[in-house]
């Protein structure tokens, strides 16, 4: 960590590190696929983890999702039963945003909608302590847009996990023009040392690092399929066995959700105006039809409910 000189002009020792307050209490707003995964990651680490959802039905769904994921991990010998039990003991759920008042950091993981996220950030800023960090799991929305409507833009950052969060090791930390270096350093240490994640830092640009590279590739695969000359299975097999990818692009589209891909593509196109970022017509039609991938049972492939 880089530190400046003190008032006398003397430089601190090379091994000096300014104290960074620990992050022990986490709030996760949104218990969907990403939110429940992020909450599970935090709970597995033994952190006091509170999940906020819109109503009791959504709370029940989020709770069951996390429990099922933990039980599956135990059955596959990915984690010991003691870790599952610790995680379940560390979790709590609420429908009241006011319960975030004692959290050291909150991570917003609601749908990829600017209006929804702005609403959540206004509520978090209102109820949380002035020194609490506000993070967003957005994959495309500018961090400065979210930070600027709060009273603490220096403590707002992007903390972008990847699906499924308990398995994927990467977290993108996104620093906006308003985010302080201390905030980034603090969350970086937390993600690496507490959550066991691999961190990359990036600027506040649409798509950050991964999606700016990934989404145009996925859109090209959709265009190729739409031409009708190559099957979805052959496109996926080509990238798996020809390029060593763990799954093909259309299978990945179904996993991510076609509505999410469309939303990210729209943001990329709006910012950079490159035709390779424009959502293909087939993607628009599939989203309109509700064929969103695994979460609806049908996308480029069909899935059991």
Q: CATH code at 36?
A: 3.40.50.720
Q: Are residues 229 and 139 in the same domain?
A: no
For residue 265, give its domain range.
211-296
Cut 0.95: pTM above it: no
Q: Are residues 62 and 148 in the same domain?
A: yes
* Choice among 112, 137, 160, 277 that is catalytic: 160
CA distance 78 to 64: 19
Task: Tell me the three state secondary structure of residue 94.
Answer: strand
pLDDT 10s digits, 218-258: 999 999 999 999 999 999 999 999 999 999 999 999 998 99
pLDDT 10s digits, 156-180: 999 999 989 999 999 999 999 999 9
Which residue has tokens 């702005």?
Answer: 118
H-type helices in 196-231, by residue range?
210-226
What is the model's pLDDT at position 19? 57
| 156-161 and 133-136 beta bridge pairing | parallel
Residues forming beta bridges with residue 5, ordered by sequence position? none
* Choice among 90, 137, 176, 211 that is catalytic: 211
Share of the chain above pLDDT 90, in %: 87
* Choice among 36, 65, 69, 139 that is catalytic: 139
Q: Is 245 a catalytic residue?
A: no
**CATH number, residue 216:** 1.10.1040.10
What is the model's pLDDT at position 305? 65
Round the average pLDDT of the chain to a whole number and report it. Answer: 93
Q: Is 160 a catalytic residue?
A: yes
Please indicate, yes or no, if residue 40 is contained in any of the structural domains: yes
Number of domains the chain contains: 2
Residue, of 56 and 8, whose pLDDT is higher = 56
* Choice among 40, 172, 176, 262 that is catalytic: 172
CA distance 162 to 9: 44
Q: Are residues 91 and 215 in the same domain?
A: no
Domain end marker among 148, 177, 203:
203
């Amino acid at each position: 960590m880089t530190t400046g000189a003190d008032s006398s002009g003397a430089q601190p020792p090379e091994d000096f590190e300014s104290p960074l307050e620990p992050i022990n209490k986490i709030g996760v707003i949104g218990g969907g696929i990403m939110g429940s995964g992020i909450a599970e990651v935090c709970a597995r680490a033994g952190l006091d983890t509170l999940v906020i959802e819109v109503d009791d039905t959504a709370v029940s769904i989020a709770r069951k999702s996390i429990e099922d994921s933990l039980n599956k991990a135990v059955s596959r010998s990915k984690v010991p039963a003691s870790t599952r039990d610790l995680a379940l003991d560390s979790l709590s759920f609420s429908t009241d945003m006011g319960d975030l008042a004692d959290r050291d950091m909150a991570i917003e993981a609601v749908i990829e909608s600017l209006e929804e996220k702005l609403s959540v950030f206004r509520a978090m800023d209102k109820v949380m302590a002035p020194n609490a960090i506000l993070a967003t799991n957005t994959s495309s929305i500018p961090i400065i847009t979210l930070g600027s409507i709060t009273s603490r833009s220096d403590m707002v950052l992007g903390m972008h996990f990847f699906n499924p969060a308990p398995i994927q090791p990467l977290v993108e930390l996104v620093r906006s023009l308003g985010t302080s270096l201390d905030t980034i350093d603090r969350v970086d240490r937390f993600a690496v040392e507490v959550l066991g994640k691999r961190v990359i830092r990036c600027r506040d640009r649409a798509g950050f690092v991964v999606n700016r590279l990934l989404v145009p590739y996925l859109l090209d695969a959709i265009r190729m399929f739409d031409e009708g000359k190559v099957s979805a299975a052959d496109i996926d097999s080509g990238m798996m066995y020809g390029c060593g990818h763990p799954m093909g692009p259309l299978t990945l589209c179904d996993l991510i959700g076609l509505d999410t891909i469309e939303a990210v593509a729209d943001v990329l196109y709006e910012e950079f105006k490159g035709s390779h970022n424009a959502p293909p017509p087939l993607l628009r039609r599939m989203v309109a039809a509700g064929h969103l991938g695994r979460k609806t049972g049908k996308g480029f492939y069909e899935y059991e409910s």
